């Protein structure tokens, strides 16, 4: 199992419990994890419940791995830990910025004509 997860990986977890000191998550059928309050935000955390709800799926970054006890030390403070399917990540194509370069002048002209009307 040591090869399954690596420090630094970002993995999807399900929140199973919330305490004043952190968030407990289920990673898979074997591993579980804890997001300590110090790893929730770079700002002061007044209420851990403001960051996650039981049953919610969130993304976590692996800080440490205990393969003997099947536990992970996790963090959410430096990643976008909540994922909305509506907010898809824009994937760069092979053309990169080429379509923008080719069309920008036309788009600007069209908008200027629109506003002049």
Q: Where are the domains of the chain?
A: 10-80
Q: Does pTM top 0.75 for this prediction?
A: no
Distance CA 93, CA 47 (A): 41
Which comes out higher in pLDDT, residue 115 or 75? 75
pLDDT for the residue 91: 58
CATH class of 10-80: mainly beta
Tens digit of pLDDT for each residue in 49-96?
A: 999 999 999 999 999 999 999 999 999 998 888 866 545 555 566 667
Tens digit of pLDDT for each residue in 19-31?
A: 999 999 999 999 9
Q: How far is CA 32 from CA 1, 61, 109, in A?
A: 13, 13, 56
Strand partners, 15: 25
Q: What does residue 13 show for φ and ψ, rounded to 5 degrees?
A: -135, 165
Q: What is the mean pLDDT of residues 99-103?
A: 83
Let me know: does 5 contact 65? Beta carbons within 8 Å. yes
**Ramachandran sector of residue 10 (left: φ over 0; alpha: ψ -120 to 50; beta: rest):** beta
Confidence of residue 1 (pLDDT cuts 50, 70, 90): very low
């Amino acid at each position: 199992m040591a090869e399954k997860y690596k420090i630094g990986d970002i993995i999807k977890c399900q929140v199973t419990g919330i305490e004043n000191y952190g968030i407990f998550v289920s990673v898979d059928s074997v591993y579980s994890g804890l997001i300590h309050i110090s790893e929730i935000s770079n700002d002061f955390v007044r209420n851990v419940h403001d960051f996650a709800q039981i049953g919610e799926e969130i993304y976590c970054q692996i800080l440490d791995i205990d393969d003997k006890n099947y536990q992970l030390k996790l963090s959410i403070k430096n990643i976008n830990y909540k994922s909305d399917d509506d907010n898809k990540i824009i994937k760069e194509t092979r053309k990169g910025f080429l379509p923008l370069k080719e069309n920008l002048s036309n788009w600007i002209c069209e908008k200027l004509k629109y506003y002049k009307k």
